[in-house]
């Protein structure tokens, strides 16, 4: 994640000298100065820095010497904030953290997210909005650490996106009773949906409807794609669908069924689909097999090669069998692999059958 640089900071390293006091204060805290010079030397050139103050706040929250040093090495920009700014940020995150022990643990893991204090008012307004919406605090803390950029938006922008999703959900046949659950689930799966505009959401849904997907099928795709559909454009989706149609030599209706079976055909770009298809063909897998089990295109070429190699070691011929055994998550594959392995190792006799013994 990039750190939004304050306008008064400068990255011009020419004709600037390091702030000796900053260096001394960091040295006393056992911070690796060389690491900061290598990665973000501009921080050391600033006239004003608040090393002692920021270290003091972190220690007050429960961070030991090692933790403080690690945090400042990973996010040296922290020392350019005043104690007042960081205390405000601390109070803000406490709205969703159980206690300071949890808060300092999050800061240790995600210092860049915590020390972005420039959007304080937007962050606060969005936290309160998410709480009103019904998102649990543990989900909001996950958003703060893994998707901090959604908090930089003015709260009205995020509200507009949520309202657009709610309107479309109802217009596609979703019930008012289930709408809140659907919205919260969608947000939990993909908070970056909020970085889109309500116009882009509308355009993508209209694209699917123009391509003969029924309202129910569009809702099904939305759920399967976890909102990622809004990160594409109608033009890129059109190219991917046209590519799949040519490869599988199918009608519009058949293509629609393939997309519903494997949404990857809709959201992966043509170069990605080409690469994965080529990788499968090199392994001796036919286009007909891929059409039968298109979900295999959701896997990278490296994963496919690894799984084929493992199955081949058991004597399983992927060329003549189904591709179902390749599919799924790592856990799904391990379960399938285990079943094939146990079937291969099963003895030909029944070890629990009663033995006939003549008296």
Task: Round to whole Å and give the CA distance between 297 and 47.
Answer: 54
Q: Is residue 249 part of a domain?
A: no
- Asked if residue 123 and residue 102 are part of one domain, the reply reads no
pLDDT for position 345: 67
Q: Could you say which of 198, 219, 234 is where a domain stops?
A: 198
Q: Is residue 355 part of a domain?
A: no
pLDDT for position 137: 95
What domain count does the chain have? 2
Burial of 140 (0-12, 13-18, 19+ CB in 10 A): buried
Q: Is residue 169 part of a domain?
A: yes
- Asked if residue 42 and residue 97 are part of one domain, the reply reads yes
Q: Could you say which of 117, 132, 154 is where a domain stops?
A: 117
- Considering only CA atoms, which of 155, 73, 77, 139 is closest in space to residue 114? 77
Q: Is residue 110 part of a domain?
A: yes
- Asked if residue 100 and residue 141 are part of one domain, the reply reads no
Task: Round to whole Å and give the CA distance between 57 and 35.
Answer: 23
Burial of 302 (0-12, 13-18, 19+ CB in 10 A): exposed
pLDDT for position 61: 93
pLDDT for position 244: 93
pLDDT for position 233: 86
> Domain span at residue 68?
17-117
- Asked if residue 147 and residue 86 are part of one domain, the reply reads no
Q: Is residue 191 part of a domain?
A: yes
Write down the pTM of the prediction. Answer: 0.75
pLDDT for position 138: 93
Q: Is residue 351 part of a domain?
A: no
- Asked if residue 24 and residue 111 are part of one domain, the reply reads yes
- Asked if residue 138 and residue 90 are part of one domain, the reply reads no
pLDDT for position 272: 93
Q: Is residue 69 part of a domain?
A: yes
- Asked if residue 141 and residue 84 are part of one domain, the reply reads no
- Asked if residue 37 and residue 96 are part of one domain, the reply reads yes
Question: If the chain, 359 residues long, is cut into consecutive pieces of 10 residues, what is the mean pLDDT of each piece?
Answer: 45 68 94 93 93 96 94 95 94 94 94 89 95 94 93 94 90 88 89 87 88 89 78 88 93 92 88 93 90 90 90 82 82 85 64 49
- Considering only CA atoms, which of 42, 68, 40, 73 is closest in space to residue 54? 68
Answer yes or no: are the C-beta atoms of 172 and 165 closer than 8 Å: no
Q: Could you say which of 96, 117, 138 is where a domain stops?
A: 117
Phi, psi of 67 (to 5 degrees): -65, -45
- Asked if residue 142 and residue 82 are part of one domain, the reply reads no
- Considering only CA atoms, which of 155, 82, 150, 158 is closest in space to residue 115? 82
- Asked if residue 169 and residue 80 are part of one domain, the reply reads no
């Amino acid at each position: 994640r990039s750190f939004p640089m304050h306008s008064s900071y400068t990255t011009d390293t020419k004709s600037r000298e390091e702030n000796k006091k900053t260096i001394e204060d960091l040295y006393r805290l056992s911070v690796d100065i060389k690491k900061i010079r290598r990665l973000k030397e501009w921080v050391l050139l600033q006239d004003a820095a608040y090393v002692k103050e920021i270290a003091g706040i972190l220690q007050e929250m429960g961070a030991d010497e090692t933790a403080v040093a690690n945090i400042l090495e990973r996010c040296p920009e922290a020392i350019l904030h005043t104690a007042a700014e960081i205390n405000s940020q601390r109070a803000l995150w406490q709205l969703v953290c159980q206690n300071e022990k949890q808060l300092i643990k999050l800061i240790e893991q995600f210092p860049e997210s915590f020390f972005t204090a420039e959007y304080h008012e937007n962050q606060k307004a969005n936290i309160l909005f998410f709480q009103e919406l019904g998102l649990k605090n543990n989900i909001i803390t996950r958003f703060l650490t893994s998707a901090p950029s959604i908090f930089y938006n003015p709260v009205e922008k995020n509200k507009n996106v949520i309202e657009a999703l709610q309107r479309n959900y109802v217009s596609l046949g979703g019930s008012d009773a289930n709408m809140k659950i659907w919205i919260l689930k969608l947000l939990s799966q993909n908070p970056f949906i909020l970085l889109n505009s309500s116009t882009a959401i509308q355009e993508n849904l209209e694209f699917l409807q123009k391509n003969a997907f029924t309202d129910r099928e569009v809702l099904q795709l939305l759920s399967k794609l976890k909102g990622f559909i809004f990160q594409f454009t109608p033009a890129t989706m059109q190219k991917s669908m046209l590519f799949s149609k040519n490869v599988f030599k199918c009608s519009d209706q058949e293509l629609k069924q393939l997309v519903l079976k494997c949404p990857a055909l809709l959201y992966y770009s043509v170069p990605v689909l080409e690469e994965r298809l080529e990788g499968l063909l090199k392994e001796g897998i036919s286009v007909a097999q891929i059409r039968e089990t298109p979900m295999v295109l959701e896997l990278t070429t490296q994963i496919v090669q690894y799984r084929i190699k493992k199955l081949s070691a058991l004597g399983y011929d992927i060329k003549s069998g189904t591709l179902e055994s390749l599919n799924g998550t790592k856990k799904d594959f391990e379960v399938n692999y285990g079943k094939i392995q146990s079937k291969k190792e099963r003895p030909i006799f029944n070890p629990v059958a009663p033995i006939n013994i003549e008296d």
